[in-house]
Every structure is written in structure tokens, then in C-alpha cells.
Amino acid sequence: MGQRADADGHPVFVELSRLDGVLSVTGEKTVARDVVRNLLAEIARIRPDTSVTVLRGTADAPPLAVPPRLRQLPYVAPQTVTAPVPAQGTVRGAASRRPVRGLVVVAGTPSAREAAELAALCGPGGAGWTGLVYGETQHAHRRWYADSHGRVDMPVLDLKLMVPA
């Protein structure tokens, strides 16, 4: 869903429907926020009207504006969404491709209550939402690390990218 170029100028696509949970972008707070902001801008371009709810997280996290082409919801209670039917088979830990029903964005490290809501909406057996956290959370399925120079290390993809500000 997001497109950026690697160090050699080759395009890099990030398909959030394969995330199957929560992406935590840690490190330098402003750069981490810019990563999530850029992902949201790309989602707004490709899949307008995607539902987004923003949880506040820590008070020192830079605020985030949701692009106008996304449908911002004030609050989504985990019990108001329907959980998907779990996949049957011998491999249970693999990510499965599914449509992104909505996005839960957490501005900074989530509180205990927000972490529980994030897990209920985005965790295994959750409601099919994808979490984007610019901060640390124990419920992350993927972690990216941002530094103060605008570089983002994506270990699972073995990539380092520059984030446009």
C-alpha cells in the first residue's frame, strides 16, 4: 500500500493486507510519525474511505492529522466489530492476506487500556483491523525503527528507507 524508493531508487511497496496485526514504528518520534503519516496518505490515495480511528497514546507523541479521503471514526469499541472466522489448517502462525477493514492509529505508546483495545481489534483472532503505532507496543507483529536522519530500518524486509518529511 505504501510506495517508497530504496537506496538504489527501486520502488518499494508495503502491502498492509499482509501485516495481519500491528506495525510499531519506534525510534525518533517525529520520523516515526512521518512514516505512519505517509502510509495513511498512500492508503487514502489507493483505498479512499477506509475507516480510521486514532487513539491518543502518550501525551508527548506528535499529533497526527488523518487525510480527508479516509473516514475517521471517533472511537471503535472492540465489541462492536465482528471477528473473522479463524483459518483452518496445520499452519496457524503465518500471515494471511485479507482486506484491511480499518486502521487503528496510536499516537505514541498506548496505555494499558489502549493496548488491550489494539489487541482486540488487530491481534490474532481479532476483528480484522490493522494497527499502526508510532511508539512501542508489546502487541506489535512487525517493528520498524526510525532514526533522527529520516532513515527507517525494516528488519523483516531487510530494507532501510528514507522517509519523506
- State the pLDDT confidence band at 1, using cuts at 50, 70 and 90: very low
For residues 151 and 160, give the distance between their C-alpha atoms in angstroms, rounded to a whole number.
7
- pLDDT confidence of residue 3: 44
Residue 103 CA to residue 130 CA, distance in Å, equals 5
Higher pLDDT, 91 or 24: 24
Share of the chain above pLDDT 90, in %: 18
When pLDDT is averaged across residues 104-129 and rounded to a whole number, the result is: 83
| Rg of the chain, C-alpha, whole Å | 15
Lowest mean per-residue pLDDT among 21-30, 54-63, 77-86: 77-86
Reference 165, options 34, 26, 12, 17; nearest CA is 34
| Number of residues in the chain | 165
Per-residue pLDDT at 19: 64
* Torsion from C-alpha of 67, 41, 47, 85, nearest 10 degrees: -90
Model pLDDT, residue 56:
80
Residues of the chain with pLDDT > 70, as a percent, come to 70
Q: In the chain, where are the structural domains located?
A: 2-75+98-162
3-state SS track over the chain? CEEEECCCCCEEEECHHHCCCEEEEEECHHHHHHHHHHHHHHHHHHCCCCEEEEECCCCCCCCCCCCCCCEEECCCCHHHCCCCCCCCCCCCCCCCCCCCCEEEEEECCCCHHHHHHHHHHHCCCCCCCEEEEECCCCCCCEEEEECCCCEEEEHHHCEEEECCC
For residues 114-128, average pLDDT: 79
Write down the pTM of the prediction: 0.78
Q: How far apart are CA 36 and CA 34, in angstroms?
A: 5
Mean pLDDT of 71-93: 57
**Mean pLDDT of the chain, nearest integer:** 77
Q: What pLDDT, in 10s, does the model give residues 33-43?
A: 998 998 899 88
